[in-house]
Amino acid sequence: MNKLLKVGFDMDGVILYNPIRFVRPIAKLLKPLKSFFLKQKSESFYFPNSKIEQFLFYLLHKTSFRPDFALKDIRKLVENKQIEAYIVTGRYSFLKKDYENWLRKINSDLIFENCYQNKNDLQPNEFKEKMIKKLNLDIYVEDNWDIVQKLKSSPERSRRIKVFWITNFLDKNIPYKYKYNNLKEVLQNLPEFE
């Protein structure tokens, strides 16, 4: 009997298609300026404190404007008892309403075992590390290279977990074993780990 894979999926850029994911490498180049202008550690992810910053962050998340076409394939894998699927998103607490709206739109209760949002506003990678460990995931699918790097080098990784990365055209030359162009490609490569 095949092992039921426990697979976690990020929301924005993975479950929800986001065409501007390619902006991340450009933003990364500007990261050294962040600590100076925003008085924030350069290695941390930005947290919007003011209402205007939160509104702008909300608008930025509106670029995740539709479910990825491969969502139906996740549902098939779940129905065929090939995977147990979870959403683990680093979305901060002030995005709760939009997060819950998306869960309804995609009928998450028919696909995912459970869905988890970063309600305590931890750094996104810290929240994901915590949930990967708590859920005992075999695979986590992420589109943010910074988070992939943090997850694969985390001291919390006491067991073997594969972090699958959905790349973009600006990052495609970064060498990484579990690098894929889209969610469909990720799902086509899951059976290798039965």
Write out the residue range of the structural domain in which residue 104 sits.
Answer: 5-20+63-193
Site of tokens 């600006």: 170
Q: What is the pTM of this model?
A: 0.86
Write down the pLDDT at residue 30: 47
Which pLDDT score is estimated for 160?
A: 78
Per-residue pLDDT at 45: 79
Do the domain assignments include residue 171?
A: yes
Q: What is the largest CA-CA distance in the chain?
A: 55
Instruction: Please enumerate in sequence order all residues whose Cβ is within 8 A of that of 3, keeping only pairs 6 or more positions apart, or say none.
Output: 138, 194
pLDDT tens over the chain, length 194 residues:
467 899 999 999 999 998 776 555 544 544 455 455 555 555 577 788 889 988 887 788 777 889 999 999 999 999 999 999 999 999 999 999 999 999 999 999 999 999 999 999 999 999 999 999 999 999 999 999 999 999 988 765 546 789 999 998 888 899 999 999 999 999 999 865 44
CATH code of 187's domain:
3.40.50.1000
> Does residue 38 belong to any structural domain of this protein?
no
Flag whether 85 is in a domain: yes
Residue 81 lies in a domain: yes
Whole-number pLDDT of residue 62: 76
Judge whether 174 lies within some domain.
yes
In a domain, 45, yes or no: no
The answer to the question of residue 57 being in a domain is: no
- Roughly how many angstroms between the first and final C-alpha of the chain, as a whole number? 9
**What is the DSSP code string of 91-102?**
--GGGHHHHHHH
Number of domains within the chain: 1
Are the C-beta atoms of residues 179 and 165 closer than 8 Å to each other?
A: yes
Residue 54 lies in a domain: no
